[in-house]
């Protein structure tokens, strides 16, 4: 059962990314760098990613794999 999907809240996903090292560059839709490969994912990086709707890309770069459940 290695292919089971992990489900989390947005807050949990943010917390799982915080402090990790980015394994690749992440850019927003305007081409601005959100985080560079090798840099630590800080609160400022997370804030930028959330503002630009790039949390999923940031999480992938951090090696975090979970799908955010809808929060009403």
Contact 69, 5 (CB under 8 A): no
Instruction: Give me the pLDDT at residue 62, please.
Output: 97
Instruction: Give me the pLDDT at residue 3, please.
Output: 65
- Domain ranges in the chain? 7-68
Per-position pLDDT tens, the chain of length 72: 456 778 999 999 999 999 999 999 999 999 999 999 999 999 999 999 999 999 999 999 999 998 888 755
Q: Which pTM was predicted?
A: 0.86
Q: How many CB atoms lie within 10 A of CB 66?
A: 15
């Amino acid at each position: 059962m290695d292919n089971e999907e992990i489900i989390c809240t947005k807050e949990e996903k943010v917390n799982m990314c915080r402090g990790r090292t980015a394994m690749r560059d992440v850019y927003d839709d305007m081409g601005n760098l959100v985080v560079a490969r090798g840099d630590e994912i800080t609160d400022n990086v997370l804030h930028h990613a959330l503002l630009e709707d790039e949390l999923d890309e940031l999480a992938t770069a951090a090696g975090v794999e979970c799908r955010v459940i809808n929060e009403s």
